[in-house]
Amino acid sequence: MSQFKATFRITLSIFGLFTILGISSCPAPDNTNPLLLALSSENSKIKQVMDSLDQYEIQIRYTRIDRKNDSVFFTDYDFQVDENQYFYPASTVKFPAAIVTLEKLNTIDTLDMDSRFYVEGDSVETTFAKALSEIFSVSDNAANNRLIEFLGQDELNKRIMEKKVGKIRVAHRLSTSNADDVTTKPLVIYLDDSTTVSSTSIINTPPKALMLDGIKKGSGFYAGDSLFQEPFDFSFKNYYPIATQHNVLKRIIFPDAFPEEERFDLTNRQLLVLKEAMSSLPGQLGYDEEEFYDSYVKFLLFGDTTEPIPDYFKIFNKVGYAYGTLTDCAYIQDSKNNVDFMVTATILVNKDGIFNDDAYEYDEIGIPFLAELGRALYAIELKRTQ
């Protein structure tokens, strides 16, 4: 199936936007770069970031989607996207872990999404389908780490890169004492109600230090109660750049737009389950809606409000937030107004330059920026349908 892709490098300029969803401005000129237009907003949630670009290390890829007959066409617009400029991907790496888990299940006759298991030494029983649901609905770290024990880092990285999506290096688990172990723990898997088998531990390749721009950040960091007055080194952390994240998302949402060898090896049911998990809201899965409101892990468009998301919106996404970095990789769909587009964006909010001090401007700057960016792009897309 044919595919058109154009990438634009953007420089800052000032243009107006039109009024919708609380975005006040004038009609946009014709033939203007839509991402540039959104970032040129006078809205303070965007402007305060754009006025201090060096501080926030933003990278954004936005995709306009067009259709003709049975074909889908993508036009990509970039702002400061650079695979050599490091940002910490945090929980966004759970998305490829979920995909590769489903692929691996297809290679084992005795397992499927509903197979029950637990990690040796852990008392929590779960299923692969439940782990996927927890990963997307509330970004559960333990659920992700169970999948890493099943996969191993080497297989995860290899399978993702085979699809020609770009670079990735998942080197560690998330928020756990054995985060950096290169040897996985065995899984105890139920073949039926009473019969179990144990998987074999996987020994993975020790990670090498990343040689990227911005790999050392800030002016200090805490380790335990001690403050070290030197940049925080991310050399051995996970690496999942914007372009790769965006390409993975495209292949899940629009698999038929890619040659068969570049698609993930998932069944139709697996794709359906995966997309349902990505778009589900916490309350739909039984979580406390006071604590886990609709936009709990939906930063773009709605991240700065706890109000319910209108039911005609579906957001298929994966967010990450840690070390002052917020990232959202999302396909946004408005079925009422026939609007859809993709955005992957990251921003660093760490004004004091100290890492691990829990003093990050997530709620003051980061999430409001991502939410307003989503609204500005949505407003531009909505105008296309009018």
Query: What's the pLDDT tens digit per position in 89-98?
Result: 999 999 999 9
Alpha-carbon radius of gyration of the chain: 21
CA atoms within a 13 Å half-sphere pointing along the CA-CB vector of 220: 12
**Tokens matching residue 67:** 């259709």
Residue 42 CA to residue 17 CA, distance in Å, equals: 9
Residue 305 CA to residue 230 CA, distance in Å, equals: 36
Mean pLDDT of the chain: 92
- What is the tens place of the pLDDT at every residue in 1-35? 433 333 333 322 222 323 233 433 333 443 589 99
| pLDDT at residue number 12 | 29
| pLDDT at residue number 24 | 35
- What is the tens place of the pLDDT at every residue in 140-166? 999 999 999 999 999 999 999 999 999
**Tokens matching residue 191:** 């073949």
CA atoms within a 13 Å half-sphere pointing along the CA-CB vector of 375: 25
Q: Region 333-349: what's the mean pLDDT?
A: 98
Residue 27 CA to residue 270 CA, distance in Å, equals: 43
